[in-house]
Amino acid sequence: MTRPRTPAGPGARLADWWSRSTLVPPPLKSPHQARQLLRDGAAEILRSPARFLGAVLRGLVTAYRSWRRWVRVRDYADAARDAGKFADKFTEIRALSFFRWKVTLGVIAGAGLALAVLHAVHGPSGPWCVGAVGAVALAALGRRAEGLPGRRTVLAGPRILRWSLDPQVLVDAFRDAKLLGNDETLRLVERATRAGEGWTITVDLPATRKAADVVKNREALASALAVDEVQLIVNRVRGRGGHAGRVALWVADRDPYSTPPTRTPLVDAEQWDVWRPVPFGRDPQGSRVDLPLVWTSLLIGAIPRQGKTFAARLAVAGAVLDPHARLYVADFKAGKDWDAAGQVAHRFLAGDDTDDVFALLGWLIELISEVQGRYRRMRTLDDATCPESKLTPVMSRDAALDMPVTVLVVDEVQVPLENRTPISVEGRKQTTGEYVGELLTWLAKKGPAAGIVLILATQRPDSKTIPSGLRAVLGSRFALRVMDWRDSNIVLGDQMNTRGYDSSRLLATHKGVGILRPDGEINQGGEVLALTVRTYYMPNEDWQAICARGRQLRGGAGRLTGHATGRDTDPVSPASATLSVREAAKPTRASAWTPEGLPEPLASVVAHLGDELSEGGREFVPTAELVEALGDVDPKQFARTMAELGCRPVRNRVPDPDGEVRQVRGYLTAELRAAVRRSRMDGVGRRRLRGRTP
Read off the pLDDT of residues 345-399 as tens digits, 9 standing for 90 and up. 999 999 888 889 999 999 999 999 899 989 988 888 888 888 888 899 999 998 8
Q: Across 327-331, 584-588, 614-618, 627-631, which has the greatest mean pLDDT?
A: 327-331
The answer to whether position 572 is within a domain reads no
- Residue 148: per-residue pLDDT: 40
Same structural domain, 288 and 366: yes
Q: Flag whether 10 is in a domain.
A: no
Angle at 158 between CA 154 and CA 163, to 5 degrees: 80
Contact indicator for 639, 614 with CB cutoff of 8 Å: no
Total count of domains within the chain: 4
Tell me the pLDDT band of 161, cut-offs 50, 70 and 90. very low
Q: Are residues 647 and 512 in the same domain?
A: no
Predicted TM-score (pTM) of the model is 0.61
**411 & 434 share domain:** yes
Residues of the chain with pLDDT > 90, as a percent, come to 21
Same domain for 519 and 647, yes or no, is no
Spatial CB neighbours of 552, under 8 Å, sequence gap ≥ 6: none
Domain co-membership, 284 together with 376:
yes
Tell me the average pLDDT across 531-538. 90
> What's the confidence (pLDDT) of residue 417?
92
Looking at the structure, tell me whether residues 441 and 536 fall in a common domain.
yes
First CA to last CA distance, the chain: 60
As a whole number, mean pLDDT of residues 12-34 equals: 68
Q: 505, 539, 565 — which closes off a domain?
A: 565
Over residues 647-670, the pLDDT tens digits come to 888 887 777 655 566 778 888 887
pLDDT above 50: residue 419: yes
Check which CATH number belongs to the domain holding 186 and give it.
3.30.980
CA 506 to chain centre: 10
Which residues on adjacent β-strands are paired with residue 431? 422
Q: What is the pLDDT of residues 310-326, one digit of tens each?
A: 999 999 999 999 999 99
Domain membership of residue 153 (yes or no) is no
Q: Judging by DSSP bridges, how do beta strands 298-301 and 476-479 pair with one another? A: parallel
- Is residue 12, in this structure, part of any structural domain at all? no
Q: How confident is the model at residue 440 (pLDDT cuts 50, 70, 90)?
A: very high
Domain containing residue 529: CATH number: 3.40.50.300
- pLDDT, residue 182, reads 82
Per-residue model confidence as pLDDT tens digits over 227-253? 888 888 888 887 777 888 888 888 888
Q: Does 666 fall in a domain?
A: yes
- Please check whether residues 501 and 479 belong to one and the same domain: yes
pLDDT in tens, 53-104: 888 888 888 888 888 888 887 777 777 776 766 666 777 878 888 888 888 8
Residues 541 and 425 occupy one common structural domain: yes
Which of the listed residues 524, 540, 565 is the one where a domain comes to its end?
565
Amino acid identity of 495? Q
Rounded to whole angstroms, how far apart are CA atoms 308 and 267?
Answer: 19
Q: Is residue 443 part of a domain?
A: yes
Which of residues 104, 122, 141 is at a domain's end? 141
Which pLDDT score is estimated for 593? 63
Task: With a cut of 80, say whether residue 429 has pLDDT above it.
Answer: yes
Do 190 and 129 belong to one domain?
no
Judge if 76 and 179 occupy the same domain.
no
Q: Comparing C-alpha atoms, which of 344, 368, 518, 361 is closest to residue 450?
A: 368
- Do 552 and 531 lie in one domain? The reply is yes
List the domain range (segments joined by +) for residue 621.
581-688
**Co-location of 104 and 246 in the same domain:** no
Residue 601: asked if its preceding bond is cis (omega within 30°), the reply is yes
pLDDT at 122: 80
Residue 147 lies in a domain: no
φ and ψ at residue 462, rounded to 5 degrees? -125, 165
Q: Is residue 11 part of a domain?
A: no
